[in-house]
A and B are shown apart, each in its own frame.
Chain A
Amino acid sequence: MSHTQQLYINAACRIGNNQAWKDGQLFFEQAGVPGDEFMVGLYRKLNLQYPKWYKMDRLSKLGVLAAEIVLGMGVNLNCQPGEKAIVLANSHSSLDTDARFVSQMEEIPSPAVFVYTLPNIVSGEISIRHCFKGEQAFFVSSRPDMEFLYSYVRAIFADGRTRVCLMGWADILGEQFNATLYRVSADSDDSVHSMEFNTQNLYQYFYHEQGAVS
């Protein structure tokens, strides 16, 4: 593989404002309810049947739901666990759970909460669910830096081992949440939704209300 290899976004999803988009389609909506209730609604809509999900922290819950939309529902990636990479970023790290752990500290701190006080645990949960054993990295930036994420994902593919990469943004703090994930590979004919992997398309999908990947 080279640094000039053509890569494609084969699938994308965006969860935020109590809506979940699958590629360009509104997949689920539950307006006017708290974020936690919306996520339970989406879990049911996805028919996930993954009881571990209820024990996760909110960032992992959000990320696992988003990953299910681009990796689950009958998708066959047709590659080895070590060939599947995951590169994620957010702005609030694990602060949502950090604040919860701090409030416990005066009493008996729980290891079940402490383990989630790291942003990359969501990558671990997605990796367990979808058997991703390849390259992985987690970044923190004030805003989505698609130029950087694009460059790094390209560099991972150029290393030669990666065939599929789940990449994007997974962020939550209180009632503010956004998960926008993209499934990237060198296959153009994998899906009718495939489009060129570039920063313009990444940004367009992230910010476009109607969904640009269609």
Chain B
Amino acid sequence: MKAEQKTYVVANHVLSPMASGTAAHVDAMLLGETGVRFSHRQEYHGQGVCASLFSAEDWKELHTRFPGDWSPFELLLLGSLTEVLKQAPVDLADPRTLLLVASTKGNIGLLEPSTTDPEAVSSLSASASKVGRHFGYHAEPIVVSNACISGMTALLVAKRLMDSGLYDQAVVTGADCISPFIIAGFRSFQALSDEPCRPFDLNRKGINLGEAAASMVLAKLQVDGPGPAGTAGLVYLAAGSTSNDANHISGPSRTGEEMAQAIMAAMENAGLEPRDIGFIAAHGTATPYNDEMESKAFTQAALQNVPAFSLKAYFGHTLGAAGLLESAISVEALKRGLILASRGYEEHGVSMPVIIAKEHYQQPGMQHFLKTGSGFGGCNAALIFSKNN
């Protein structure tokens, strides 16, 4: 029999205004903390914004740690990558190592009306290459820019290329910064909430935006035979799938059918039934349409009885980093046998009777969780992470 080769999550890291480190975030969340707050900032023309944003001191500290000519987006990548590589010192010069960078808007905050060469200030691939060189990476990093499922897509691309036998390990990182560009855009859609967001709640008013970086190191560990010592309790990326609504470029599907299709494809590839799923880490942006669509998709995939939560009221919507960040936090929750509270949820506000977790609680025996995400362009993604017994 062929030796088992799962795609293990051997290290992960989250950097947000709340904390640095995945476990540190979960600890803070259990203590009732959140990174989302209302603030008046000069760069947003004095208009208030309710979001999870790094402070001037945070940026100063990152600049001090990484001297040189780095953009804010690059600093976030450096901050998270440096920490994750301390946990799992992968050799990025090894051609069997893959480096992937996920971002929705990267350096867009540097683009100004007077900019004559937009490529020079905001190129995603140039930033990724610069960061790759810093860590001695052997090639140009692969950059995924697929709206708000960029982070999830990057994880899936890494797994598929490793399954193809092209790489033994992958470092997947992602970040997004919030700039006047992003605020103006979401505001033009009237999609922003001016108070802490309330995913799946009856009184949800829209999105809080958030800044963050997150990283994961995935590795094929050679494991002979079942139940080996050393991999007990380790979490692996079991399967994933993406889909497109083919319906509208800025609004989610009204039926949730295509999100459900991605979920069911991922569960089938993982060989799992709905009862196997311990919890769902939903996209849950707190817009009326997204949460409604997700509730329909979970129901179509027969997951309406699986506890679900959204992490957006802790981190805001961290755009291209969201899928990676929320996967990392959920991996930590799975390891601890923990279902996290869907902060902001009080009164049920979607048409399907899905179960949204109101409190943090222990749920022993969980082995698998589902992560979902959706984005502009009609894209959907579903990933399944599993834990070794």
Using a CB–CB distance below 8 Å, which chain A residues touch chain B? 3, 81-82, 86, 91-93, 95, 98-99, 101-103, 105-106, 108-111, 114-115, 117-121, 123-125, 127-128, 131-142, 145, 148, 151-152, 154-156, 158-161, 173
Contacts and interface: CB of A to CB of B under 8 A. Distances in A.
Interface of B: 104-106, 108, 111-113, 115, 118-119, 122-126, 129, 140, 142-147, 153, 157, 160-161, 163-166, 180-181, 184-189, 241-250, 258, 261, 265, 269, 375-379
* Binding site secondary structure of chain A: mixed
Interface centre among A127, A148, A152 (most CB of B within 10 A): A127
13 contacts: A105-B180, A110-B188, A111-B188, A118-B104, A120-B376, A121-B376, A128-B247, A128-B248, A131-B246, A133-B261, A136-B146, A141-B143, A173-B119
B69 to A, nearest CB: 19
Contacts of B246: 81, 124, 127-128, 131-133
Given A128-B249, A139-B142, A123 B377 contact: yes
A82 B249 contact: no
Contact of B165 (A3, A120, A121, A134): A3
A140 B124 contact: yes
A159 B269 contact: yes
A119 B243 contact: no
A100 to B, nearest CB: 10
A134 to B, nearest CB: 6
A121 B249 contact: yes
A53 to B, nearest CB: 13
Given A115-B250, A152-B157, A161 B265 contact: yes
Contacts of A3: 164-165
Contacts of B166: 151
Contacts of B143: 139-141
A101 B104 contact: no
A120 B161 contact: no
Nearest to A116: B249
Contacts of A103: 113
